[in-house]
Structure 1
Amino acid sequence: MREHALPILYVAIIACIGGWLFSLLSLPIPWMIGPLFTVLLAQFFIRRPLKWPAFFRNIGLVIIGITIGENFSLTILQTMGTMFWYMLAINIIFILLCLLLAFITAKYTNMSLHTAILASVPGALGQIIVFSSEQKDVDLAAVTYFHLIRVLAVVSVIPFLVSGHIVQQNVASITSPLWAGIILIAASFAFALIASKFHMPTPFFLGPVLFGILLNVVQIDIPTISANVLHLAQIAVGAHIGLLLTPGALRLPKRTLLFGLMNVVLLMFVSFLCAKLVMTMLNYTFATSFLSTAPGGMDQMALIATSIYAEADIVTVFQLARMLFLSFVIIPLLKKYSVRSCPKSRT
């Protein structure tokens, strides 16, 4: 029992120290970025096994999700028609860019075009990696590296880029009783389990968001999650991300490692240009626009938006549109491509 608990305890201690240090240094999103960096670096110096149960990450996502859901502006649902065309245009721009990057990557590295395409597609990390593991002609290590380095770069760099655009907001001093918060989190977790049964993307985040919106629609008073609980949720998510990139994942050809970094830089640059377009056309702040268009996960971008008081509901809608576009358009097309390029995979 002790042998199983110690690796988790090590990560918890390292993550808390990271959050405390980054908070002390007044760095952006300290309770997520701090654990991410300290846990990531610890793997290269500590020879002891490190472990972080998915349950902790899921609880963190549930807390972040219900926080966004209870603050979701219902007026956004009325403007979805206007936002739809911008979301569609941004997704098409990113997909065309990723196809171009895939062709260039395949040409100048030893990666197959199939592997390069899967490595270059932004977002939907879990779905892409699971799909890649089912393909015989795909280099899973390269695909995993490209997606993990993108997640780490986006989650690490974007908070510093938008930290100068933090909205100064007066936070209410009245907090709900602890028991009310626990009941809300438990109910949100149950809703997340239901969402997972229906194979909803990122169910432990999106399920609670929808649950919070539902409570808003029926006008039920929702308990307020305290800042300390939100910090714990960010620590849980940050520690999970920090453990994603292991030293073994870097044992790839130098050219592959270099192209993975170049891929991230180009996607971030195009995201910046798209954010400027969204700012101009929809009159959102830079922080909200950049987080909406960034090639990161929906849950991570929404978490950052919540931390800097950007419009997390708008960010969630934009990122959800990308995830749905990937799930229902891109992945099915990739499946057809894989069947044609590798007929043996049919059997």
Structure 2
Amino acid sequence: MLVLVSVVLAAGFDHLGLPAGRLLGPMVAAIAFAVGGREVVVTRHGFVAAQGIIGLLIARGIPVSMLSTLSDHWGVFLVGVLSVTVLANGLGWMLTRWQVLPGDTAIWGAAPGAASAMMIMAEAHGADVRLVAFMQYLRVVCVSVSASLVAHFWIQNTGTPVPHPAAASLLLPPGSWPGLGATLVIALAGSYVGVKLRLPAGGLLLPMICGVLMQDFAHVPVELPPLVLAVAYAFVGWTIGMRFNRQVLADAARSLPKVLASIITLIVLCGCVGLVLVHWAHVDPLTAYLATSPGGADSVAIIAASSPVDMAFVLTMQVLRMLFTMATGPAIARMLAARLEKRAA
């Protein structure tokens, strides 16, 4: 039933012209099932494999010239990464100070990106991992829906021709069967090894790195047929949606309005950062909006892949912020929590 509802919703979103309809359909279906008490267990192996596929989707969108792009526009990326990080952590600090959530849970939950890595680190530091997951994935849902709507209306208003995916496109064969074989091996093996090694966001990062090496140095194309992507999108959407079961919502009911208000505020403020990039760095408005969106790199990559944007710019910004968050997240959370404890004392 979940698969059936997901297919119907995805087809409806595609028909409406919403970018990433094949992600939003399964996500909305899973939320409806979970809130309705008909929780379906989505295998973790499927989600890990889907992360590997999305990692390769990101690798395909990042050119080998990324380092030269970084050196040419380092100021733009620095401003984008630091601005979103400061805004997100600032809102987390305020939620903690107002005691919206217990302890330093809000600080971990507000970290901009790398949701799975933040949950692992938060649990290791004694935070309530269920509430951290609630904050992280609620933001991912809000960002996914808002970014998809913004992209949809931007495309409509500018008249940019974007082909709508048809159901028949799912059956299109890959351009290279050996490339497809290599892509699937790297996606499955890379995500499995990344998780086994307990790398932060390893299921996404390790396949992404291997994919860049494969296409840019081994000259083997990353082949991702529509059917493979659709299945990966579904597992990502289901896994996000199933986080919102009745128990988690009951635990977070008191804090939900303030958390949701902080997420909406963060999305608006990050949109303002994108506006600064438009006027200062002359970045395309939709590209700037997606690049500064505080959602997961995987969901933003899916939306960018179906929108007329500079995908290399969007993915470079998202990946850099994800790496920066994983590198500095624990230290920032400890520092902010220590300041709050000192202030309370």
TM-score (norm 2): 0.82
Deviation sequence 1:54-73 (CA, Å, 0-9, x none) = 22222223223323323432
One-letter code aligned to 2:140: V
Number of residues paired by the alignment? Answer: 332
In structure 1, what is the Cα distance between the partners aligned to 2:176 and 2:64? 26
Q: Secondary structure, in 3 states, of the residue corresponding to 1:121?
A: coil
Q: Is the 8 A contact 1:59 1:189 kept in 2?
A: yes
In structure 2, what is the Cα distance between the partners aligned to 1:35 and 1:196? 24
Range 178-187 or range 123-132, more displaced: 178-187
TM-score (norm 1): 0.82
Q: Is the 8 A contact 1:103 1:113 kept in 2?
A: no
Alignment of 1:295 onto 2:285: no
Match of residue 282 from structure 2:
283
Deviation sequence 1:43-101 (CA, Å, 0-9, x none) = 23354x41111222222232233233234322332121243333333333334334442
In structure 2, what is the Cα distance between the partners aligned to 1:340 and 1:96? 16
Q: Secondary structure, in 3 states, of the residue corresponding to 1:201?
A: coil
Alignment of 1:34 onto 2:33: no
Deviation sequence 1:269-294 (CA, Å, 0-9, x none) = 11111111222333332222111111
Q: Secondary structure, in 3 states, of the residue corresponding to 1:32?
A: helix
Alignment of 1:182-193 (within 5 A): 182-193=181-192
Q: Is the 8 A contact 2:56 2:208 kept in 1?
A: yes
In structure 2, what is the Cα distance between the partners aligned to 1:162 and 1:331? 33
Task: Note the C-alpha offset of 1:266.
Answer: 1.0
Q: Among 134, 141, 150, which residue is 2:139 paired with?
A: 150
Q: Is the 8 A contact 1:111 1:139 kept in 2?
A: no
Range 38-47 or range 83-92, more displaced: 83-92
Match of residue 233 from structure 2:
234
In structure 1, what is the Cα distance between the partners aligned to 2:86 and 2:186? 41
Q: Which runs of 5+ in 1 are unaligned?
A: 1-9, 343-347
Alignment of 1:7-26 (within 5 A): 10-26=1-17
In structure 2, what is the Cα distance between the partners aligned to 1:253 and 1:174? 45
Q: Is the 8 A contact 2:304 2:311 kept in 1?
A: yes
Identity of aligned residues (%): 20
Q: Is the 8 A contact 1:69 1:210 kept in 2?
A: yes
Q: Among 46, 53, 59, which residue is 1:56 paired with?
A: 46
Task: Note the C-alpha offset of 1:177.
Answer: 5.3
Task: Note the C-alpha offset of 1:221.
Answer: 4.1
In structure 2, what is the Cα distance between the partners aligned to 1:254 and 1:66? 37
| Cα 1:338–1:187 shift into 2, 3 Å | same
Q: Is the 8 A contact 1:162 1:286 kept in 2?
A: no
Alignment of 1:89 onto 2:79: yes
Q: Is the 8 A contact 1:119 1:144 kept in 2?
A: yes
Deviation sequence 1:106-154 (CA, Å, 0-9, x none) = 4544535623322333222222222332344x44444332222111111
Range 195-204 or range 154-163, more displaced: 195-204
| Cα 1:72–1:168 shift into 2, 3 Å | farther
In structure 1, what is the Cα distance between the partners aligned to 2:162 and 2:66? 20
Q: Is the 8 A contact 2:271 2:289 kept in 1?
A: yes
Q: Is the 8 A contact 1:11 1:51 kept in 2?
A: no
| Cα 1:145–1:63 shift into 2, 3 Å | closer
| Cα 1:151–1:30 shift into 2, 3 Å | same
Q: Which runs of 5+ in 2 are unaligned?
A: none
Range 103-112 or range 126-135, more displaced: 103-112
Match of residue 95 from structure 2:
105
Tell me how large the CA RMSD over aligned residues is.
3.2
In structure 1, what is the Cα distance between the partners aligned to 2:98 and 2:187? 47
Q: Is the 8 A contact 2:52 2:190 kept in 1?
A: no
In structure 2, what is the Cα distance between the partners aligned to 1:165 and 1:200? 37
In structure 1, what is the Cα distance between the partners aligned to 2:94 and 2:264? 15
Q: Is the 8 A contact 2:51 2:191 kept in 1?
A: no
Task: Note the C-alpha offset of 1:160.
Answer: 0.6
In structure 2, what is the Cα distance between the partners aligned to 1:120 and 1:219? 39
Range 289-298 or range 252-261, more displaced: 252-261
